Amino acid sequence: MWCQSCKEEYEEEDAGTCKECYEEASETEEELKREIDDLRSRLHFLRLPSPTLDAASAPHSDLLLHAIPSCSSSGAGGDGDAARVPDTPAVPAHRVILASRSPVFRAMLENEMEESRSGIIKIYDVSYDVLRAFVHYMYTAEALLDEQMASDLLVLAEKYEVKHLKAYCEKFITSKVNNDNAITHYAFAHRHSAKQLLESSLSVLMDNMSTLADREEYKELVEKDPRLVVEIYEAYLNRQVNTAAGKDTDCSGRK
């Protein structure tokens, strides 16, 4: 018979496509499903909670966000430097947008807090570029990422409980995990409860255990957080035990 897709001849008589085309079509279908789910998730994130909350009704932004890098808040000037508005431009935003995307901002802006009264919000330990990308995401559910930007945005998303952004950044970082950065990403995932990134990093580490102890990042981890080193070896030993048990079961079944 002839495949209806690639027009090549194949032996099966109970289908209209060959095995290769069928598998390719299945993969394409799964990819389309993932894209649709992603679009639905973004639409849900961007939807305002009430018809009365419309950013268009406020043509001008009513908030100014200021990035306060860590060096500014912990410099020699002490509290005076921390209170000072930095020289970098403010990032404008609508309070209705921030409140609808983040429960932390909602609590801040719906109560009589200083930020709500003044319209000025200082975001500490973040650069201007990261803050601008953060606010842009609040409006568009899009961000131009590299690994550093994704990591910085994930931390900010966790701080302000923007779950959609955190998942978006975690997915990107997970796609970049390799043997060179797995230790760093594993420690980062632990600090920020990023389960998908944690599992991916751990899998790569266990696949390369023979060279793990030779890496500088490993030696730094031993000094800074030996608990994580123990967890890596425990996970590796558990996998070895499960693999051995599986082989034993196979051997028993053949007898």
- For 70, the 3-state DSSP assignment is helix
pLDDT of residue 77: 45
d(CA 56, CA 54): 5
pLDDT of residue 135: 95
Run of H or E residues at 7: none
What is the DSSP secondary structure assignment for residue 75, as one 8-state letter? Answer: S
The two three-digit tokens of residue 71, written as one number = 């060096």
d(CA 27, CA 37): 15
d(CA 90, CA 68): 11
Give pLDDT tens digits for 169-205: 999 999 999 999 999 999 999 999 999 999 999 999 9
- For 133, the 3-state DSSP assignment is helix
pLDDT of residue 55: 46
d(CA 125, CA 151): 13
pLDDT of residue 78: 47
Mean pLDDT of the chain: 83
Task: Please report where in the chains the tokens 């909602």 appear, as a residue.
Answer: 106
d(CA 33, CA 169): 20
pLDDT of residue 41: 85
pTM, 2 dp: 0.77
pLDDT < 70 regions, the chain: 1-26, 48-60, 71-86, 246-255
Closest CA relative to residue 232, chosen from 201, 255, 211, 196: 201
pLDDT of residue 67: 95
